């Protein structure tokens, strides 16, 4: 896995992707947020834009999935047991589109983590140092990398959430 230095083009890529989501879903896209490491200035990241999309009911794939697939995303993850989360991927630009039901507590958690890293240089450095150390390993699957970050994410979340 390779981390890239922060790229000031990432917010613009998010804006273009958000416009694509809006174009595909219109009013069905209730919230669209830039999340993940590419949304935090000065933070090294995998150059993949993470987007959080809130819809009326993420379990109702008929309301959004075909339109997003027509716009270039492919469903890769379906997790009914975890907030009815769906994750779609797009290759150009590289993105992960995380779909949740509006009001889902995971949306607030993801945005609190992002906002905390934006505001706290020490925790941003801790997170980046952890990611850099883990990036030196070979991971059979990316979820293993994500799981390896759990302890530091939990630590930082303890400071990010009220």
Q: What is the mean pLDDT of each run of 10 residues along the chain (162 residues)?
A: 93 98 98 98 97 98 98 97 98 96 98 98 98 88 86 96 84
- Helix (H, G, I), strand (E, B), or coil: what is residue 111? helix
Pairing of strands 85-91, 94-101: antiparallel
10 Å CB burial of residue 118 (0-12, 13-18, 19+) is middle
Beta-sheet strand order (sheet of 74-79) = 31-35, 49-55, 94-101, 85-91, 74-79
**What per-residue confidence (pLDDT) applies to 144?**
83
**What per-residue confidence (pLDDT) applies to 132?**
94
């Amino acid at each position: 896995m390779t981390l890239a230095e922060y790229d000031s083009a990432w917010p613009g890529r998010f804006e273009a992707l958000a416009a694509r989501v809006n174009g595909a879903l219109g009013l069905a896209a209730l919230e669209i947020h830039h999340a993940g490491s590419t949304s935090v200035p000065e933070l090294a990241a995998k150059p993949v834009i993470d987007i959080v999309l809130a819809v009326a009911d993420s379990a109702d794939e008929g309301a959004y999935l075909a339109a997003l697939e027509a716009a270039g995303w492919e469903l890769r993850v379906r997790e009914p047991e975890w907030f009815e989360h769906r994750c779609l991927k797009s290759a150009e630009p590289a993105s992960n589109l995380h779909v949740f039901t509006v009001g889902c507590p995971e949306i607030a958690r993801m945005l609190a983590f992002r906002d905390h890293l934006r505001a706290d240089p020490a925790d941003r450095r801790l997170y980046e140092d952890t990611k850099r150390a883990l990036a030196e390993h070979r991971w059979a699957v990316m979820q293993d990398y994500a799981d390896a970050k759990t302890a530091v994410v939990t630590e930082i979340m303890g400071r990010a959430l009220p």
